[in-house]
Structure 1
Amino acid sequence: MDLFVTCMMSSVAGQVVGGDSSDRQEYKLSPGAQPSDPNGRAPLHNKSAPTKPAPAIMAKRVAVILSGCGVYDGTEIHEASAVLVHLSRAGAKVQMFAPDADQMHVVNHCEGKPTEEKRNVLQESARIARGEVTDLAKLNVSDFDAAIIPGGFGVAKNLSDWAVKNKDCTIQPQLEKIIKMFHQAGKPLGMCCISPILAAKILPGCELTVGQDKECKMWPYAQTADAVKEMGCKHVNKDVEEAHVDVKNKLVTTCAFMCNAPFHKVFDGVGVMVQETLKLA
């Protein structure tokens, strides 16, 4: 019994006693081991790697480019609102821009006829932006991860002269430069309704949709698809609740009110466009 107690005490001290001194074998405690561990092993919790905090997810910075206020001479208001709601829901940081220039003309939206009135694109866009809109000339591409352009006839009248020249149109110079810079930087562009014609003009060979290419009551602007094809781009038929993603050019398009669809379907289609644009950012 005395020998057993002696061996146990010697083991705790780091030695095994038995025979003469030449037979003794020493055991050193592992770093962090407790004397109560007869095998000299470190506790398991000391082997655990320190927990690293999860990396912060940066909010996407998106420039939304407007062309006035009102479907017939500016930005289509419901499309702009849909874009802003979906961006807000996705946690994006948004800044709105518009050119500081006169509109092509002002349209009486009750009658659908031009008036003699003069209005400024930037000032009209401020109605949608709740006053928070910046001159397009101040847009710095390096400050943003993506750009989105809602539709409306303002795209065809104020951001270009498509309404007059169709496929032979020219693009507002500042906007043309900005679109090219986003594309060259590999940053995605989202466009809806008539605004994809901007990409068709600036990015030859790109893929896009303005809805369907067969005109009918549901698709009154289907001839736009033919013009896109004549400009050397690929048109992809899509329904109003869908979007087309041109991965190569990082271009996301949806038809919106190029289709005579219910508001909620246009809203949903714009949402798909926004989501796919943010995925590429």
Structure 2
Amino acid sequence: MITKIEKNMSEKKRIAVILSGCGVFDGAEIHESVFTLWAIENAGAEYEIFAPDVEQHHVINHISGDEMDEKRNVLIESARIARGNIKPLSGFNAADFDALMLPGGFGAAKNLSSFAFDGPESTVNKEVEKAILDINKDGKPIGALCISPVILAKIFGKAKMTIGSDQGTADAIQAMGATHVNTTHGEVVIDENLKIATTPCYMLDAKITQIAEGAENVVKAVFKMLD
């Protein structure tokens, strides 16, 4: 007879991942997103991908950097990375998951929040805020890559985190009440009280191998907090 403890030990951890579109300048950073998914599965866990069903702030031509005269949806664009296996963030239930991951990309600062435009006075998408607060309320860890820690700074205020070493962004984080720690490639900063793990990734001038290292290390840190 299998005991409840043995059953729980045999069940895979389930990690929710929130994306913000598809593409570094107007959505989720693709390398960070894919390596986060890879690291979760490589650690023996399962992931489920979510995104808010909202219009993204704008669309950027990733060759020229120019804004394009068209509209796109964050959920539909995120589905490109998820290979269609994605759900609207409105259906997120923290009770179904053991942890939450937030890859970076400008979408985190343009679509999930308004940090790119409003800095410390920014707002956070209500569904994103609720998902983060619900996970935190349940005592479950959160991992954030690249620029996405600014969302956590806005929501929690007093938190320890990193976005690398960009002084302007670090100053904005501290203006929101958080403590910033300068880091380099692959390093992770952990706030033990809030169970938050952050790493800089493409907030630094990075190679793709360094992005893989950062994603793997932050996922490992999240799993260590689960243990």
TM range (shorter): over 0.9
RCO comparison, higher one (Cα < 8 Å, 6+): 2
Equivalent residue for 1:103, pick from 38, 45, 56: 56
Of residues 172, 178, 190, the one that matches 2:131 is: 178
Counterpart among 89, 105, 108 of residue 136 in structure 1: 89
Identity of aligned residues (%): 44
Matched pairs, number = 221
Structure 1 segment 141-220 matched on structure 2, within 5 A = 141-212=94-165
Q: Secondary structure at the match of 1:226?
A: helix
Q: Deviations over 1:123-155 (max 9, x none)?
A: 000000000010000000100000000000000
Residue by residue, what CA displacement relative to the aligned partner does 1:214-237 show, whole Å, maximum 9, x if unpaired? xxxxxxx43101111111111111
CA contact (8 A) 1:60 1:278 kept: no
Shift of 1:266: 1.7
Residue 258 of structure 1 corresponds to 203
Equivalent-residue separation in structure 2 for 1:106 and 1:169 (angstroms): 20
CA apart distance, 1:181: 1.1
* C-alpha distance after superposition, 1:79-137 (max 9, x if no partner): 00110111110111110000111110000001011111110100000000000010000
- Tell me which residue corresponds to 2:188: 243
TM-score, normalised with respect to structure 2: 0.95
SS of the aligned residue for 2:10 comes to coil
Which range is displaced more, 56-65 or 135-144? Answer: 56-65
User: In the alignment, which residue of structure 2 is the partner of 1:279?
Assistant: 224
State the TM-score, normalized to the length of structure 1: 0.77
Report if the CA contact (8 A) 1:59-1:93 is conserved: yes
Match of 1:70 in 2: 23
**2:74 counterpart of 1:121:** yes
- For 2:162 and 2:180, the matched residues in 1 are separated by 5
Task: Say what the alpha-carbon RMSD is for the aligned residues.
Answer: 1.3
Higher helix share goes to which structure?
2
Q: Match of 2:168, as an amino acid? A: Q
Q: What does residue 169 of structure 2 align with?
A: 224
Distance 2:96 2:222 in 1: 16
Contact 1:146–1:277 at 8 Å: present in 2 too?
A: yes
234-243 vs 251-260, which moves further: 234-243
1-structure distance, mates of 2:172, 2:116: 12
Output the CA distance in 2 between the equivalents of 1:104 and 1:127.
18
Residues in 2 aligned to 1:120 and 1:230: alpha-carbon distance in whole angstroms: 31
Aligned counterparts, 1:30-45, within 5 A:
none
How many angstroms does 1:241 deviate by?
A: 1.1
Q: Distance in 2 between matches of 1:176 and 1:76?
A: 20
Deviating above 3 A after TM superposition, structure 1's stretches of 4 or more consecutive aligned residues are 54-57
Q: Distance in 1 between matches of 2:19 and 2:167?
A: 23
Partner of 1:8: none
Give the partner amino acid of 2:167: A
- SS of 2:197 mapped into structure 1: strand
